[in-house]
Amino acid sequence: MTQDSSLNRPYSAHTDVKLRIGIVGAGRGGWSLLQVLMDLPKVQVVGICDLDPKAPGLSKAKTLHVPIFTNVSDMIANQEMDWLINVTHSSLTQRHMLTREVTKPIHILDGAAAEVVWRFLTGFHQQVQQCSQSERTCAYNMVWTLINRIANAVGEMQQRLTDIAFHDPLTGLFTRRILMEFLEHEIRNTYRLSHPLSLIIMDIDHFKSINDEFGHLEGDRILQELAGLLKENHRPSDLVARIGGEEFVIVLPETDQENGMRIAERLRGQVEKSLQRPDGTPLTVSLGVAELNINDPIPQRMTPSALIECADQALYHAKNSGRNRVLPFNPDWKRIAF
């Protein structure tokens, strides 16, 4: 997938090929961007999307015969596009949410890059309205060359800042901050779409003894090796985070507890088979698995912290029952105060 480093299909002023653009967000920003893009030559708006079916831009887009969507996955799956511009002003957590949906070569503009493009285009559009047709054509050719360069430069800078802000410097995994935002988004989707959602918490067995006996550098090496294994063995839809010390969390969208247990058991076996402690003995981990139950009597009160707590209780019982094992959350252990 093409991301921020280069455009998949850069605009050329000397070709009749149109740049196909999809818009995420149908509020004021999305609607104003749509109006500008509809007036530009060599640009085709192939869709606009907003989770809120009553977003003002959706009804207005319909009058312009622009395809409207309430699910970004549907827009990406059904429309061929070169650029996807996200003007929802959401946190950069949505970068993961968007990129996991994209299986085609699409250039994603969000955050600061989308803001720059949107403001540049709207300001430019207002200024050229009084120009002649030939002057506007010349100006449009120039502006798309500039936008290509701006989108690339801002996008590369944004990606570097994103990596610093949301990735653990030791392991490269996501941090607790992005985990909580992503999990909140997935919990909302679970209730809205009635899709399953599970979560795994993994903890390295006897990790303190590694640091005590062999030093923190060896402990860091173990953490990096385990993070590498997790990166290689998770689905694009999942999110893997380090939440502190030797604890890791894996969010499993579209996954019930039974399949979450299978994934956790497979990971447990891979760790024991592939990784070693500094003394050459197998590294082992304990894992707890919890599923968000949409049939819970009080589902609207479930929070990311509560779901993590359920998996953490399962992890606690896995450790107390011998370690190097996987256990599912059992609601009979303790009623969580959501």
List active site positions: 246
First to last CA, the chain: 39
Element (H, E) at 201: strand 197-204
Is the distance from CB of 311 to CB of 289 less than 8 angstroms? yes
Is the distance from CB of 290 to CB of 329 less than 8 angstroms? yes
List all residues 6 or more positions away from 69 whose beta carbon is below 8 Å from its beta carbon: 47, 48, 49, 75, 78
Q: Work out the number of other CB atoms within 10 angstroms of the CB of residue 337.
A: 7
Burial 77-109 (b: 16+ CB within 10 A, else e): eebebbbbbbbbebebbbbbbbbbbbeeebbbb
Local structure of residue 283 (DSSP, 8 states): P
Q: How far is CA 277 from the centre of its chain?
A: 33
Q: What distance in Å separates the CA atoms of residue 328 and residue 120, rounded to the nearest whole number?
A: 52
> Which residue, 221, 227, 256, is CA-closest to 240?
227
Any long-range contacts for 238-242 (C-beta under 8 Å, 24+ apart)? 239/96, 239/174, 239/178, 239/179, 239/182, 239/183, 240/173, 240/174, 241/168, 241/173, 241/174, 241/175, 241/176, 241/178, 241/179, 242/168, 242/170, 242/171, 242/173, 242/174, 242/175
CA distances from 280 to 226, 230, 273, 277 (A): 15, 21, 12, 5
